[in-house]
A = this chain, B = another copy of it.
Amino acid sequence: MKRLLVLMFSVVVVCGGTSAMSQEKVRWKMAMTWTSTLTPLANAGPMLAEKMAELTDGNFIIRVDGAEKHKAALGILDMVKGGQYELGHTASYYWKGKDVSSVFFTTVPFGMNATEQYAWYYYGGGLELMQELYDTFDVYSFPGGNTGVQMGGWFRKEINSLDDLKGLKMRIPGLAGEVFAKLGVNVTNIAPGELYTALDRGAIDALEWVGPGMDIKMGFHKIAPYYYTGWHEPASELQYLVNKEEFNKLSPEYQAALKTAIQAVTAEMTMQNFDANARAWAQIKTEYPDIKVMSFPEPVLLAMRQATDEVMAEYGATNELFKKIYESQKGYMAMAREWTKISEFHYIEASEVSGDQ
């Protein structure tokens, strides 16, 4: 009997010592800003849940709630901070009202492209700066996939000059909205579900949404045929938020599993967004020939750039962290863009010259 007790004790200790951590059952909940049907964005939750289950023999289970369930699309940060959800998938610039510095971890007008921005996150100090901000909210923040260059929006009328922007009613959130406001645009924000009706009834004259992969399903092209190329969101990064206290309670293996799974899904989400946009773009060319693809004229772009610089300077004057992150991004971008131009940009040009049209 005594021997048996010892044996039993040993067994328990062995289990506890080498694998109790990986045996631990974890049940987490994740809230997304997106409704469950808004793909590809809404795939970020289920993909992470699946990877975590695979990595832990089904012991780490994540229940994913879309916005239709939790009814707080723009309340993800508060819910993850408060612990109602251990995880969130969203975008950093939605927290602009709490701290405007949050915009840098999504994208900014005339900022870096996706490759440059990922390199900045990992090798230019971006991840550390992001956590410096999110420490103030008591959560961890990780990159969560990139939409690539977002389109400049749908307009009822062609924009030929700065005059055409004056008095225009447009739905465009974030810093880009502030830039447009400086150019005389009457900027407003409207919930996604009401966008089509607002545009159709003339409550707005123009709107910005995402890119072809998600825009086409909304039907905007039927009532605003001018589709402008992007300048304001060159690399919109999505975001995984993690409740700090709950994360810190996890075993080191589970922490590693979550971080590695997030990194893998982030890469996959970026490819998925690119693929969805490329397919939708091809669809536009064949099925929606009436869409007029336009670029803003040079004087408009110049004015947008100048207004962007003003907006950045104004925030930087009163917000130390904003200034610090802006300078970090600007410095990295100045270096990275030169390489982008001589590599990616030059290559696309060389391909054009020699036959890809």
Q: Which residues of A contact B (CB under 8 A)?
A: 1, 4-5, 7-8, 11-12, 14-15, 18-19, 21-23, 51, 54-57, 59, 110, 113-116, 118-119, 121-124, 148-149, 151, 211-212, 229-231, 234, 251-253, 256-257, 260-261, 263-264, 266-268, 271-272, 274-275, 277-279, 281-282, 285, 293, 295-296, 298, 301-302, 304-305, 335-348, 350-351, 353-356
Determine the distance from Cα of A123 to Cα of B121 in the docked complex, in whole angstroms.
Answer: 25
> Are A348 and B343 in contact, with the CB atoms below 8 A?
no
A260/B264 contact (C-beta < 8 A), A4-B8, A356-B337 known: yes
> Are B55 and A274 in contact, with the CB atoms below 8 A?
no
> Are A22 and B267 in contact, with the CB atoms below 8 A?
no
Looking at the assembled complex, report how far the CB atom of A92 sits from the nearest CB atom of chain B, in whole angstroms: 19
10 closest residue pairs by CB, A with B: A305-B354, A54-B256, A267-B267, A149-B343, A263-B264, A123-B275, A278-B339, A8-B8, A15-B15, A19-B19
> Are B260 and A347 in contact, with the CB atoms below 8 A?
no
> Are A59 and B122 in contact, with the CB atoms below 8 A?
no
Q: Which residues of B contact A335 (CB under 8 A)?
A: 278-279, 281-282
Determine the distance from Cα of A98 to Cα of B241 in the docked complex, in whole angstroms.
Answer: 47
Determine the distance from Cα of A148 to Cα of B351 in the docked complex, in whole angstroms.
Answer: 15
A55/B260 contact (C-beta < 8 A), A148-B343, A267-B266, A347-B113 known: yes
A15/B8 contact (C-beta < 8 A), A54-B252, A278-B339, A342-B281 known: no
A51/B230 contact (C-beta < 8 A), A8-B7, A339-B277, A343-B211 known: no
